[in-house]
Structure 1
Amino acid sequence: MDAQTPSFFSAEPLLERRLGRGPFDAVPSVPGVYRFYDRNGNLLYVGKAKNLRTRLFSYKRAKPGQVSRKVSELIGQIRSFVYVETPTEKDALLLENRMIRGERPPYNHANKETETYYFVYLRPDNEGLEFRLAMRIHKETDPKYWHGCYKGHAPVRQALGCLLRLLWMAEYEITDPMHLPVKLNRNLTPMRFALPWNTSASPALTTGLPDLLELWIRGEDDELTDWLAVQIEAGRHLPPFQRLWLEYHLDQITGFYRKKLSRHHTLRNGRNRIAQDELDDLLVKA
């Protein structure tokens, strides 16, 4: 621990002195979930362990200078704990996820914020492509065009913003991002966007883009990335800035396909979508 980090409890193991040895001596060496409470009975933290006895003894024996600031603050407030045994470590992970989502303890951060789950709507027709990004499926839309949900505010919005820009550039055969609509050049991906096809000669309609887009968003094929690269470059000699810009955007949607869409395809197990309250558990099982 950094020399500047303050001590929040005395030089001796505080939890052993405060709670006594009895509660710790009874803890079994099995997988499970533990919960820490403050003096008022408020839940502070939920954790999982492959070995409950080993994990809780690490808190019992903790001294200043051996743990992080966050753990020091936590230990300074603990007045009691309980634990639940589970058959396996995976069961402990699943139970921990559910408890954190349901109760949102102040010292837990992962899996607390349900607003970081998005559904994506992609509906192509003869006129263009309708795009929506939302935390719930809109009632006025056709459910078959919704995909998701996908976890992570920044990864989802960054990748889909890159996708919309590249689709526009491919459809209108431009290479300079300065010629994109203002709405697509903002920092945040629009929650709704309509991309009209080029009425004079639409690459999307003549080369089967809707099918490629469907396979991509379903995590079944990444040929869309190659299609975008070919359509935008098309034998042109791009200036260094434009080439770097294009490569960055292609990398973003390739990474999104690999980390989100392809994995999501496996998790769905034949279903169209995964509900928000299922996703974390499915990721643990995977």
Structure 2
Amino acid sequence: MEAVRTSSRQLKFFHLENPLSVRLGNDFFRSLPAVPGVYFFYGQAGELLYIGQSSDLKARIGSYRHVTPEKNPRRTLRLVHRIFKIEWRECALPAEAIELERVLLLEHRPPFNRAGVWKGDPWWFKIEISSDKLHLELTREASGTGPHPPAFRYVLGSLVRCLYRSACPQAPLSAYPHRLFDASVPLTLSLCLPDIAEAAETLRSYATGAPETLLSKLESMPRGASLWEQEYWQEELERLIKYAAKNASMPASPPVSPAPPAASLYLKEWCSGRDSNP
């Protein structure tokens, strides 16, 4: 009798169906409200695992059903595997959700949250140009733009990936620089871009509290060919909007464009409603 052959390859984390769909059911995700709010992930024993916020709870929580080993970091895979209960709190405005999440993160410090759970040393962001490359460095030394809060370390990857996408919109993901999709990108990076001076100015503007240039470019770009790519870039955009709304001190003046992108409206809303938030 011929022996049964086994594969030595590691099994995929999810086989056919995401565990959230199995545990909570599709009706649960269909019932989620498409409103701003803060959401909470709990483990099997009722322990709080993660706190997040979104301007659209239905879309954001639902996106966790599409987590795969091919496009998400292991930390996110482990989180999804451990979720047994999801709760949420609705908010009137996206800015209110951002502020509520900030307060709750410092209060509860869930194990799967990294940014926002403690107050650490500040960062400085160095942006330099050579003849053919854009050189970036995140450092503790007081040079470049800064000081930036500890959370800047975690938004840096999204910032650089989105900058590269806006500068090279036709480039497939496979053509992006090495390690640009790491969960934590290197503290020192060098990028080859079509217009280095423009890219440097776009980064510098975002880092100094004027993110409209980059966010407007991203808002006007196609979301991507596949569903997972659309969700990925939408999450990246939301991360940049969230960080800018938390940390940029922007005047709540009328936008120059007669039809401003959602990102600019979002930031204006945050600035105008800042003093009334809890």
Structure whose alpha-carbon radius of gyration is higher: 1
With the length of structure 1 as denominator, give the TM-score of the two structures: 0.41
More helix by share: 1
With the length of structure 2 as denominator, give the TM-score of the two structures: 0.42
